[in-house]
Amino acid sequence: MRLDETTVKRVLAEYDLNSDEKASIYPIMHAFVINFYCDRELRKVCLSATEMGQETMPTVVEAIDPIMGLHDYQVNNIAGDLNLPFMLWSAFRQVIQRIYRCFVAIEAEEMAIAPLVMRADERFYVQRAEVMIDDDALTADVRVRHEFGTKKTKIESLSYIELQGQVAFVGNGAGLLMASMDALRYHSENKVRPSCFLQLSHDVDERVLNDAFELLSTVKAFDSVFLVVHSTRVPCDALARHVLQFYSKYAFRLPLYVRLEGVYADEAYQLLRQANHPNVRAYRTVLEAVEAITRLYMGEDAR
């Protein structure tokens, strides 16, 4: 079977916990968002967890050493911060450890369980999962390539996920983008949200930036763009020139917030500032950019 030019090899049926025969006897008591992701700055896998519907509760994060693996005490820390009763910690550890083993086995970049639910029978169920797999893992592991294939845009250097919000997040590194989105939600008190998640290839260059701006010019389901790039190969001042070039090439009229980190980052910052472009704004840190975006949507001066 083919679907949107993709060969479908297997169909997975989702089990609806809200409509089975046990739903009335064992209703859902809690729902959690569990996320494993690669933090390239820490060079570790991170586990984050929060309870759905508890916006005031901060997200709990544990950094996992890739050699030592996920320790039980780290999962216990998560369980304690989520206010789980002690008698449920053992079952919680088992399901989190299984999810982590799956994350490692398929060499995923990110694995989000949304939600992991707990019923009144005090058992945990994974109701929905989203997995982002590294391209190199697809090449190296035939089993992963066979089971999952690739989910990409038609532009090979990009990975695009559509969300519902106002700000398009563009950058290299899932961890960096996720942290930036969380920072925006926190500072705007969840009033400003991402409209899309556009991950660039790690070696950002002129071609990759052109692909990104070309794709954004066709989407147009956002009010502003936040570009956050950590460049390890191309000098940041060169990337800054390309940003200005492609912003004009694709006739953008929306605010573009830029934070570049790497070689010649200060020069890139000065170049973008001195360009005095009415819609392109440079910042030295993610926090400064997030605060400016928040001010824009709060009706204040965003510069």
Annotated domain spans of the chain: 26-148, 158-297
Rounded CA gap, 94 and 238, in Å? 48
* 3-class secondary-structure state, position 124: strand
Rounded CA gap, 29 and 214, in Å? 45
* 3-class secondary-structure state, position 78: helix
pLDDT per residue as tens digits for the range 90-100: 999 999 999 99
Give the angle 257-40-180 at the CA atoms, nearest 5°: 30
pLDDT per residue as tens digits for the range 171-226: 987 778 888 888 888 888 888 888 888 888 777 888 888 888 888 888 767 889 99
Indicate the fold that domain 158-297 takes in CATH.
Rossmann fold (3.40.50)
pLDDT of residue 172: 86
pLDDT of residue 100: 94
pLDDT of residue 188: 87
Sign of CA dihedral 197, 202, 207, 209: positive
Give the angle 170-173-175 at the CA atoms, nearest 5°: 105
Check residue 287 and give left, alpha or beta (phi > 0: left; psi -120 to 50: alpha): alpha
pLDDT of residue 280: 93
Contacts of 63 (CB under 8 A, 6+ apart): 39, 42, 44, 45, 46
**Among residues 28, 79, 74, which one has the least CA distance to residue 50?**
79
| Residue appearing with tokens 């592991």 | 141
Distances in Å between the Cα of 289 and the Cα atoms of 219, 256, 258, 293 are: 23, 10, 7, 6
Q: Where are the alpha helices (DSSP H) in the chain?
A: 72-81, 89-105, 135-140, 142-148, 174-187, 206-219, 236-249, 265-275, 286-297
Rounded CA gap, 249 and 19, in Å? 52
On the question of a common fold for 26-148 and 158-297, the answer reads no
The low-confidence residues of the chain, meaning pLDDT below 50, are 139-154, 302
pLDDT of residue 155: 53
CATH number of 26-148, picked from 3.30.470.20, 3.30.460.80, 3.90.950.20, 3.90.110.10: 3.30.470.20
Q: Enter the tokens of residue 219.
A: 């989407």
What are the φ and ψ backbone dihedral angles of 194, each rounded to 5 degrees? Answer: -75, 140
Which H or E run contains 170?
strand 167-172
pLDDT of residue 249: 86
pTM higher than the cut 0.75? no
